[in-house]
Amino acid sequence: MITLDLFLDKWGEFYASGGFVMPPLVVATIVLWYALGYRLATLQRGDRRPVYQIVEDGLQRDPRGIIDLAVMRALTLRRNHGRLKLRPFLDEAFHEIREDLGSYQTLVRSIVIVAPLAGLLGTVGGMIETFDSLADMSLFSQSGGIAGGISQALVSTQMGLAVAIPGVIVGRILERRQHQLEDELERIKDIVISWNPEAK
157 inside domain: no
Among candidates 72, 161, 83, which has minimal Cα distance to 115?
161
Per-residue pLDDT tens digits for 8-40: 888 788 778 778 889 999 999 999 999 999 999
Q: Quick one: pLDDT band at residue 185, thresholds 50, 70, 90?
A: very high
Q: Tell me what pLDDT residue 145 has.
A: 57
56 inside domain: yes
Most confident range (mean pLDDT) of 85-99, 161-175, 182-196 is 161-175
Q: What percent of the chain is modeled with pLDDT above 70?
A: 87
Helix (H, G, I), strand (E, B) or coil at 84: coil
139 inside domain: no
126 inside domain: no
Distance separating alpha carbons of residues 81 and 170, to the nearest angstrom:
40
Distance separating alpha carbons of residues 78 and 97, to the nearest angstrom:
17
Number of helical (H) and strand (E) elements in the chain, helices listed first: 7, 0
Q: Tell me what pLDDT residue 147 has.
A: 67
Instruction: From residue 114, give the alpha-carbon distance in Å to each of 25, 43, 109, 138, 167.
Output: 9, 25, 9, 33, 11
Per-residue pLDDT tens digits for 45-94: 988 888 888 888 876 677 889 999 999 999 889 888 876 788 889 999 99
14 inside domain: no
> Which helix (H) or strand (E) element contains residue 63?
none
Among candidates 177, 182, 174, 198, which has minimal Cα distance to 51?
182
Give the pTM.
0.79
- Residue with the bigger pLDDT between 6 and 177: it is 177
Distance separating alpha carbons of residues 160 and 112, to the nearest angstrom:
9
143 inside domain: no
Q: What range does the domain containing 169 cover?
A: 20-112+164-199
Q: Tell me what pLDDT residue 37 has.
A: 96
Q: Tell me what pLDDT residue 60 has.
A: 67
27 inside domain: yes
Give DSSP secondary structure letters for 121-182: HHHHHHHHHHHHHHHHT-SS-TT-HHHHHHHHHHHHHHHHHHHHHHHHHHHHHHHHHHHHHH
4 inside domain: no
Angle between helix axes 4-17 and 22-42 (nearest 10 degrees) is 120
- Name the domain count of the chain: 1
